[in-house]
Chains A and B, each alone.
Chain A
Amino acid sequence: MFKKALLALPVAMAVGGAAQAGEWQDPADVLNNLLEANPDSAYLHQSEMNIMMMPDNPALWVADDGEELFYQERGPNNASLESCDFGKGPGVLDGAYVELPRYFEDVGKVMDFEQRLVHCMKEIQGFDEDDAAVAQRHGSGSDIMQLTTYIAMQSSGMEWQPQNDHPEEQALIAAGEKLFFRRGGAQDFNCAACHGQSGKRIRASVLPQMRNSQEWTKAVSWPAQRAGHDNVRSQNHRIRGCVWQMRHAAIKPDSMANTALIAFWNDAARGEPAILPDLKR
């Protein structure tokens, strides 16, 4: 583990110099600024109740639980996650979430946030694939969602800047865009079927438009308390749900398709501040 941390150092130093895009802001303030700047967005303004509830977002409690878990010595190796490198150096969480997915030298590939978190829990803490700590991906009670909410929150108000310098990062963002428009499944859907126009609804839900970055930053701002589910949900959970509704084949977490979609999602929100955690219908 110590050796791993040393190996990660040159990477940390290489990217450490880059300026953070924006200062930390309370998620309720980030949302309020977006609402004021976009008075006509039906998507952003659709739930008065959720907007009002932002300061008391139940996801904030989940983030507290995640903080405790992050520093706790756990797993077969009895180690904390403080040496986990999310791309800005071991243990550096400020602004790390909004810069993912990114290419990691130590694994030789691009990883999204959840994939990286699971990687660290296995490598550093010694959890096995089948241990509930890493196998249970969904629900406010899961370690993964608690850790995700805490770590993501350290990037609230900062701009989405998924890394795009490495050729593999560029390749996956481009592939993610094509996947977004790739028709398939029993009913011919692609992601753009629901996210290609502004102000449209599926039943009662107003849909975010992918090309409108100020709507899209809220759309991709997971983790978020999903009021209708009474649970905090992740980007992975949103993708899984959309793919299921599209009647495509089921998508796997930690997969290249999942990472490519998230890379493209976050790229489409590039430069906009993230609301972390958010509150959604």
Chain B
Amino acid sequence: MPGQSVRWGLPLAVSAALFTTGCQFFGDADEGETDIAAMETDELVEHIVFESDSYRLDQPVQEGGSARGRMEQDDLQRACSVVGGELSGDQVQEVITLARESYEAPPGGPRLGDWERGAELARSGYGFRVGHRNDDHSTRTPGGNCYACHQMDPNEPIYGTIGPSLAGYGSGRGTDEASLRYAHEVISNPHQYFPCTEMPRFGANELLSEREISHIMAYLLDPESPVNQ
């Protein structure tokens, strides 16, 4: 703390008063004491996220706990935070391993639910948003937001293209055990097959329940689903 030696000469009470006023005025306790130019970039980023009062870290979040937890990275998030997104072969292997370790098959094995319910979940982008507006999970169930990135029902005109088209996904695959298992693995934790994909870990991170995943699987694989018409 470079400023401290200067203050030592002042009577203690005055010194304390000055310090308190400074904090209130700037609203950021560590400003002026942190030399951001002297920090390594990685260290500075963590300082910015957790120590600079930049985020509302104390805000409660839907999954329980506070928003601080949202900003604390797990191993997979850290491994996938490479600037430019180009991963080495070792990094790819690390991510696949992490993803496989955290994957859990549903009790009794994956199965198909109700495709109509799956269609609703695929269209809904609700859930887990916090800040100026908070998603209220007690009044509305979070969705899977599949259409944000994928084409699914070929008759639905508005779909994103960050992910591959899933129109007709079930037509060539059938509903045997292997195709059910693969669909579940990808929805639950897609990094097993697509390391550092943009797609969320819907099962592994409990964004959707196993029941809800079964509905989305039905929307994809059920021969009756509009996705396969």
Q: Which residues of A contact B (CB under 8 A)?
A: 108-109, 167-168, 170-172, 174-175, 177-190, 192-194, 196-197, 199-204, 207, 240, 243-245, 247-252, 255-258, 260
Contact = CB atoms under 8 A, between A and B. Distances in A.
Interface in B136-157: 147-149
8 contacts: A177-B83, A181-B84, A183-B78, A184-B77, A185-B70, A185-B71, A188-B201, A257-B55
B166 interface: no
Main secondary structure of the interface of B (DSSP, over half): loop
B205 interface: yes
A108 B32 contact: yes
B98 interface: no
A247 B131 CA distance: 9
Q: What is the size category of the interface that chain B forms with chain A?
A: 35 or more
Contact of A186 (B42, B61, B198): B61
B80 interface: yes
Interface of B: 31-32, 36-37, 39, 41-42, 44-45, 48-49, 52-57, 59, 61-63, 67-68, 70-73, 76-78, 80-85, 128-133, 147-149, 158-162, 198, 200-201, 205, 207
Contacts of B78: 183
B205 to A, nearest CB: 7
Contacts of A188: 76-77, 80, 200-201, 205
B55 A251 contact: yes
B37 A181 contact: no
A184 B32 contact: no
Contacts of A244: 129-133
A172 B37 CA distance: 8
A171 B133 CA distance: 32
A248 B70 CA distance: 6
A144 to B, nearest CB: 15
Nearest to B190: A188
Q: Which of A186, A243, A245 has the most CB of B within 10 A?
A: A186
Contacts of B83: 177-178, 180-181
A247 B67 CA distance: 9
Contacts of B85: 181, 192, 196
A247 B55 contact: no
Given A192-B85, A194-B162, A201-B161, A250 B201 contact: no
B33 to A, nearest CB: 11
Contacts of A251: 54-55, 131
B36 A187 contact: no
Contacts of B80: 183, 188
Contacts of B161: 199-201
Given A196-B85, A249-B71, A171 B198 contact: no
Given A171-B41, A181-B81, A192-B85, A203 B148 contact: yes
B32 A186 contact: no
B70 A186 contact: yes
Contacts of A204: 158
Q: Which of A174, A193, A196, A199 has the most CB of B within 10 A?
A: A193
A108 B35 CA distance: 11
Contacts of A170: 37
A202 B45 contact: no
A171 B130 contact: no
